[in-house]
Amino acid sequence: PQGSEEAKAFVNAFLKRSMPKKKDEAIQDILTRKAVVLEHYSKKKTKPKRKKTKGFTAKQRREMRLFEIEPEQQRYAIFLPLHELWKQYIRDLCHGLKPDAQPHMVQGKLLKADLHGAIVTVTKSKCPSYVGITGIILQEFKHVFKIITKEDKLKVVPKLNNVFSLEIDGFISYIYGSKFQLRASERSAKKFKLKGTIDL
């Protein structure tokens, strides 16, 4: 068994460890009381920082050729099922494309819709060589459409200075490429003005 001095020293040391913020005088003052309330200081837990997953840069995507379609895949027939899926997607989006559907409502839906799989035709262009190109849109970028034609040729058609027509279930819509220079993801959130001057 410990002597009184050892016990006193132990209690003093124990209280110092338990109450690190208290001064010696304050601890001695506490000892004169009958009850001692020990303080507890919880260590602050540092949350581990989440590492942000970095995507590829545009340069890396080009080097990896992520957006390039292999020559053996550049066949119109391969993408016809994609066009059928697109037509069904538009019918669902426009609630069936009924004959009594409001044209401006359908037009508004098409402007924000995903056009991958749509068959489009260049109807007007400042560059005559583009006029008449018809095919399925395989890729849409901010400034260009990549279109596969019935002749199995992949055409890169700029949006600027071109007018595209798009037909589905007898409804024909015109896309003015100069007003359409957005990525597909950005276009879905954009508010298009129904009125205004339209030119090539």
Q: What tens-digit pLDDT sequence spans the chain (200 residues)?
A: 556 778 778 877 877 777 777 777 777 777 676 565 656 556 667 777 777 667 778 788 778 877 788 888 889 999 999 999 999 998 888 877 777 777 777 778 888 888 999 999 999 999 999 999 999 999 998 899 999 999 999 999 999 999 999 988 888 888 888 888 888 777 777 776 655 555 66
CB atoms within 10 A of CB 67: 11
**185, burial (CB in 10 Å: exposed 0-12, middle 13-18, buried 19+):** exposed
Burial of 72 from C-beta contacts in 10 A (0-12 / 13-18 / 19+): exposed
Helix %, strand %, coil % for the chain, to 5? Answer: 35, 20, 45
Please report, as a single letter, which amino acid is at residue 179. Answer: K
What are the chain's domains? 2-32 (no CATH), 74-189 (2.30.30.210)
Q: How many other C-beta atoms lie within 10 A of the C-beta of residue 101?
A: 15
Residue 15 structure tokens: 């209280």
